[in-house]
A and B are shown apart, each in its own frame.
Chain A
Amino acid sequence: MTTEKLDTNAAPRPNWASRIDLPVATAFGCIILLLLIGSLYSPNFLSPDYLLQQLKVGAFLGVIATGMMLVILLGQIDLSVPWAVTLGAMMASAATAYGPMGEMFAIPFGVLCGVLMGLINGIGVAYLRIPSMIITLAVNAVAQGLMVAYTGGFAPVDSASPAMRYLAAGTIAGIPNAVIVWAITGLLAVFLLGRSTFGRAIYGIGNKEAAAYLSGVPTQRVVMIAFAVCGGLAAFGGVLLAGYAGKAAQSMGDAYLLPAIAAVVLGGTSILGGRGSYIGTIAGVILITLLQSILSVMQIAEFGRQIIYGGVIIVMLLLYGREKSGR
């Protein structure tokens, strides 16, 4: 049957730029709203110290969410973040315990483990065409299995290296290092997405993989690398968390999966891929962090968070993530 080709002389589509500005603006608006609400509960909610503290806490999520954003921009998802985080933390701590050589390479080693995990995800998605949701779930389980076997099921005893602690908990000129690390990561992400061919390819693939493929772009390689970077960043987040707490902990990454997805989606990145800016992710991370703070100030327990994360993602999807009707 012949297919009709449509002529878009009809009404112009909404401007792409304005579609991401609206969620980002909303996100920033909500941040302000939350700050106001928070200040009602506690007077020093708006104090610079507290705000800086929030940024520090948010920095860990920020690093993790950066990786997640890359994958979501492709139109995929990475559910192996929980154990990528834990893997990075544990492996870095383990390397620290290995001696002076180990201590020096603790951080790169932890990150490398995450990169390897991400590579497995990436190969599965890009070359074997396994749905990302499934393979990342499975890889998550394997990583968990590895760590359980490695630690004997107990809490890991290795502690973080001094370098890790410094990165996570130290300060330079009064600004927490974690925030600086996040800022640097963010700048690199902005540069990557905006100025590199890799970043262009990511947006293209997320928008229409078929068109990107037909344009001669190495789509498979790009997808694989994106997953590797996501794994690496998640592991790096884990390394920082271990540095902050002094040591790694079982299942420490579980609490970061949903917030990471929610932060990226709240920041205006479309879950279907191809649209989103890093500023939005920053707003999303701050928003989630503030939300968590308020929830604990209001003494709402864990269950409330789960419901809110889930609800937020659903609402964002209903507003911005719907597929077009085929008829």
Chain B
Amino acid sequence: MTSLRYRFAEQRGMLLALAIFIIMFTLYVSNHPAGFTPNVVQTAANKGVLLALVAMAQTFVVLTAGIDLSVGMIFILANCLASYVLAGTPVMVGLGVSGVLLTGLVCGAINGLLVIYGRLQPIVITIATGAVFFGIALWIRPYPGSADDFSSGLADALTGKVFGVFPASLLFLIVLVFVVWVPFRRSVMGRAVYAVGSSEPAAYMSGVPVMRAKFTAYVLSGLFAAMGGLFMTFFTYSGEASLANGNTYTLSSIAAVVLGGVSLFGGRGSAIGAIFGALAFRAIGDLLFVFDFDPLWQPLFQGVVLLLAVSLGSARLFQVRNRLDLFT
């Protein structure tokens, strides 16, 4: 019973996701016409990071045994907002970035307040708030577009390559993990989030600040979803209020989270796992392209993978011994 064994067990879900990702990515790169070149990796990284950010957002909420169906819409809203404010002088760009992130925080806070103080179920409330967020996005960007004096400096820096080889977006993601996720996980509030998701009554009895933990989770979720949207703008230089896109990101974030070993029932998993889950999910989708499958089959393929992932991740029939427990 060494400590190493326990550390291993702790990370099991994430390691599995990592394994899946490595397999998928190897398949992808080895069959790609251009091979394992910096450009191929960069494109893959950029697309992967987008989903990874949204998956991280979803992780915070899922850890509390909730779910956030508005992450995709916060993503879109941030994207549209950024397409306006990433313009002008570096100072203005800096303000713009802050504004977008703040918007994400506010969206998350709204979700959190409604779930906690309204005592409403996250499932339905986030569908509704998602609609409102999307409506706002559509209002500010009825048609895809970007600001006239769009400043591409920051965008290029973060979607380009560092030292000509390593994708900047990945570096950003790694920095984010170390600067935000790891401290969060080790913090008292982070522990509280896990406790609440694992067993809310036990957490309450143990004096854990349940409401504050949930609120923190939703606010962080909004923040990360907004980062994803911001990144999308870096990538495309523009903003588009696409309902289909938003829905896809929401749904993919759930699949990524499940693939990454985060339990939909709360209390278990890590955002790092969700990142690998997101990358793996993206890689699976891109596999079709690389194997010369008709791109028409891609949505179906992704849909089926999604279905399998969420079914396996959330089916709980097999663990329950007292059937009455199924109804609670």
A188 to chain B, nearest CB (A): 27
**Which residues 257-310 of B sit at the A interface, judged by CB distance below 8 A?**
264, 294, 296-304, 306-307, 310
A144 and B303 contact, CB distance less than 8 A: yes
Chain B residue, CB-CB nearest to A301: B142
B296 and A152 contact, CB distance less than 8 A: yes
* A17 at interface, CB cutoff 8 A: no
Contacts of A325 in B (CB 8 A): 119
A149 touches which of B135, B297, B310, B316 (Cβ 8 Å) = B297
**Which residues 33-79 of A sit at the B interface, judged by CB distance below 8 A?**
77, 79
A314 and B311 contact, CB distance less than 8 A: no
Identify the B interface with A (CB < 8 A).
Answer: 67, 69, 114, 118-121, 123-125, 127-139, 142, 201, 241, 243-244, 248, 250-251, 254-255, 264, 294, 296-304, 306-307, 310-311, 314-317, 323-324, 326-328
* A225 at interface, CB cutoff 8 A: no
* A311 at interface, CB cutoff 8 A: yes
A142 and B307 contact, CB distance less than 8 A: yes
* A217 at interface, CB cutoff 8 A: no
A313 and B315 contact, CB distance less than 8 A: no
Contacts of B119 in A (CB 8 A): 322-325
* A309 at interface, CB cutoff 8 A: yes
Contacts of B326 in A (CB 8 A): 129
A138 and B306 contact, CB distance less than 8 A: yes
- Chain A interface bracket (under 10, 10 to 19, 20 to 34, 35 or more): 35 or more
B115 to chain A, nearest CB (A): 10
A313 touches which of B67, B127, B243, B316 (Cβ 8 Å) = B127
Contacts of B306 in A (CB 8 A): 138, 141-142
State A47–B189 Cα separation when bound (angstroms): 61
Chain B: interface secondary structure?
helix
A149 and B123 contact, CB distance less than 8 A: no
B327 and A209 contact, CB distance less than 8 A: yes
Contacts of A302 in B (CB 8 A): 138
A141 and B264 contact, CB distance less than 8 A: no
A313 and B244 contact, CB distance less than 8 A: no
B135 and A142 contact, CB distance less than 8 A: no
State A214–B322 Cα separation when bound (angstroms): 12
Contacts of B294 in A (CB 8 A): 149
State A307–B251 Cα separation when bound (angstroms): 21
B306 to chain A, nearest CB (A): 5
B131 and A307 contact, CB distance less than 8 A: yes
Chain A residue, CB-CB nearest to B241: A303
A-B pairs with lowest CB-CB distance, top 7: A145-B300, A310-B131, A306-B135, A307-B135, A303-B138, A310-B132, A141-B303
Q: Could you show 27 A-B contacts with beta carbons less than 8 Å apart?
A: A128-B315, A128-B317, A131-B264, A131-B314, A134-B264, A137-B251, A138-B303, A141-B299, A142-B306, A143-B303, A146-B300, A149-B294, A149-B296, A149-B300, A152-B296, A210-B324, A214-B324, A251-B244, A271-B121, A304-B139, A307-B131, A307-B132, A309-B131, A310-B134, A310-B135, A317-B125, A321-B124
Chain B residue, CB-CB nearest to A306: B135
Contacts of A133 in B (CB 8 A): 67, 69, 123
State A323–B115 Cα separation when bound (angstroms): 10
Contacts of B303 in A (CB 8 A): 138, 141-146
B307 and A141 contact, CB distance less than 8 A: yes
Contacts of A153 in B (CB 8 A): 296
B307 and A306 contact, CB distance less than 8 A: no
Contacts of B324 in A (CB 8 A): 210, 213-214
State A135–B142 Cα separation when bound (angstroms): 31
State A144–B248 Cα separation when bound (angstroms): 11
